[in-house]
Amino acid sequence: MTTVVLFDIDGTLLLSDGAGRTAMEAALHAVFGTRGPAGYRYDGKTDPLIVRESMRHAGLDDATIEAGMAEVIARYLEGLSVALQDPARLARTLPGVPALVEAVHAADDLMLGLLTGNVVEGATRKLDAVGLAPARFVVGAFGSDHEHRPALAPVAQARAEARLGRSIPGDRFVIIGDTPADLTCGRGIGARAIGVATGGYRRAELEGYDAFALVDDLADTAAMLEVIRGA
């Protein structure tokens, strides 16, 4: 039986040192004339949801937001490439990530994938920036597939099933992420969740969301493989 391991990106696999937010705020300002509220949290949200919610908070109506959405995302991607190449920024993988990604990729019983709020081109650029080969992640669901994170779990399931050519029960999906939204988004398909406290939430703040396991980081590859296989 194959277990499909779906990693979140920001705060889970890597930190982009503010490159994503800088690029998004510049894109929002260029299209809508406002960067959105400084206190609005991006983590756990899909890129299109960030656009919609932050611009609603800034007082824009949905029709206006919808009309500018594609241009914001296009400008965001241009700005993201520039921001990720800024030598003053320290985009980097989190502890243990390259080894764990390699181990999951190499394991016959595990399928390596992504479940992220990033639009697919943004995900690719961030992974490339820290030396994680995007092609290693053979199945993925992205913010460009759907604005609502829980809708991404069935997308990942359908793509994994298409790749294997057979059905895969929902409980054979393990979602690893750093926010409550990561821990709850797979409930609709019965996926297991593993919370990691390397993003904006401390371990204690990730309790109460029915995660299969919570870990401080992904540094211990052997221990993580055991947790994943036990899920």
Residues that bind Mg ion (CB under 5 A): 8, 10-11, 178
Closest to Mg ion by CB, 47 vs 178, is 178
Nearest residue (beta carbon) to Mg ion:
11
Closest to Mg ion by CB, 8 vs 145, is 8
Query: What secondary structure does DSSP assign to the chain, as a single string?
Result: --EEEEE--BTTTEE-TTHHHHHHHHHHHHHHS----TT---TT--HHHHHHHHHHHTT--HHHHHHHHHHHHHHHHHHHHHHHT-TTS--EEPTTHHHHHHHHHH-TTEEEEEE-SS-HHHHHHHHHHTT--GGG--EEE-TTT-SSGGGHHHHHHHHHHHHHTS---GGGEEEEESSHHHHHTTGGGT-EEEEETTSSS-GGGGTTS--SEEES-S--HHHHHHHHHH-
Closest to Mg ion by CB, 12 vs 157, is 12
For residue 140, the minimal CB distance to Mg ion (Å) is: 15
For residue 147, the minimal CB distance to Mg ion (Å) is: 16
Closest to Mg ion by CB, 60 vs 112, is 112
For residue 31, the minimal CB distance to Mg ion (Å) is: 24
For residue 96, the minimal CB distance to Mg ion (Å) is: 16
For residue 117, the minimal CB distance to Mg ion (Å) is: 7
Closest to Mg ion by CB, 60 vs 211, is 211
